[in-house]
Amino acid sequence: MYTSLTKTILFVGGGSGGHLFPGIAVAEKLRLHAKNCRIVFFVTTKRIDAKIIQQTPYTWYTCPTIPFPKRRNLTNCTSFAQKFAMGLWKSEHVLRMTRPSCVVSLGGFGAFAAVILAILHKVPHVHLEGNAIAGKVVRYLCPWSNAVFCHYENCFGVLQDKIVWSGLPIRSNIFKEMKLSTTFTILVMGGSQGATFMEENVLRSLRHLTKSRHKISFIHIAGKKSQRSVVAQYKKFGFRAKVYSFVSHMKDIYRETDLAISRAGASTIAEVTALGIPTILVPFAKAADNHQYENSLYMEKRNATIVMEEKELTPESIAQKIVYLTNNRQKLSRMSFAAKKIAKPHGATIVSDYIVKNFLGS
């Protein structure tokens, strides 16, 4: 086991905001409650990771990574083996350099090599798992972990004795104040995967909502490439809209939101339930193991959302749901109440307390 006089917590993994933001939330708590703790992030080479982590005060390194190949031909397997070998080498270097007291896996394939080495070197490690169906890295490696902090009480694929039902950690800066505007505001956010299909249908629904444009406004988080075309669509149909390519501080966005139309990613669900924001969730059909559908189904069964699968998604169907909800404030209030009832807003505190108690003692 690596030893160190300086207590370092190494956060590994990434590939999306949904992976990184829970880790940053835990890091925030550790900075407050463990003054002798050094935080280091070991993230993927994806641009989104650098964009997010550069806005934090933490030291960070990158790890070459590639998912397990879906088509296991010679070319794909060779490419995976090469990248994985590079990932192992870089992970070994970072672990020797940082000598962590604990490794925190944020999920995604960027965590795989580092956690493998943590197991081999007997470095304590924990996983953060926000989905109803655990990701492959968690499923494969959880038998050797100290704990798996889950958003759902019964997370499929995780050994029951490893589960700590904490809720997925969320950033403290997302908690909103009272809304000031009287306009009904709809937040559209597609997430980092498969956003285009959902967004296109929302934009095409505008022609069916023109009678309501005087009382509806939009906030739309679009990709950088599509930002101009999205702005043009809202202008074409006369809707007030704020369109962003990327938002790092969601507090002001959530403050204005009356209804969110979103993918069913783990971090999004953790945040909107904590804030009691009613949602229309469109699970990404190609998400691994269809986990987004399971995430959204959990909420729908508890009356906290309306789920629209991609196969039923049309401009007309979205417009119908928007009109129904904008004219049914009682339904929105019930959804908001139900969302808050299933929320687990203290995940970051639970995880950080566990780390301090078990790995940062003298």
Annotated binding site for UDP-N-acetyl-alpha-D-glucosamine: 16-18, 131, 171, 192, 292
Which residue has tokens 């550790």? 30
Q: Running DSSP on this structure, what letter comes out for residue 68?
A: P
> Sign (positive/negative) of CA torsion 204, 209, 213, 215?
negative
Torsion of CA 161, 167, 172, 178, to 10 degrees: -160
- Per-residue tokens: 316: 């007309």
CA distances from 318 to 8, 238, 256, 301, 312 (A): 48, 18, 21, 20, 10
Q: With 0-12 CB in 10 A as exposed, 13-18 as middle and 19+ as buried, what is 187?
A: buried
The C-alpha atoms of residue 186 and residue 175 are separated, in whole angstroms, by 18
Q: Which of 47, 68, 53 is nearest to 12 (CA)?
A: 53
Q: With 0-12 CB in 10 A as exposed, 13-18 as middle and 19+ as buried, what is 276?
A: middle
Q: Running DSSP on this structure, what letter comes out for residue 327?
A: T
CB 218 within 8 A of CB 312: no
Indicate the annotated binding residues.
Answer: 16-18, 131, 171, 192, 292
Q: In sequence order, what DSSP letters do the residues of 162-193 get, joined into one string?
A: GEEE------GGG--------SEEEEEE--SS
Element (H, E) at 131: none
- Per-residue tokens: 142: 């959880």
Q: Running DSSP on this structure, what letter comes out for residue 67?
A: P
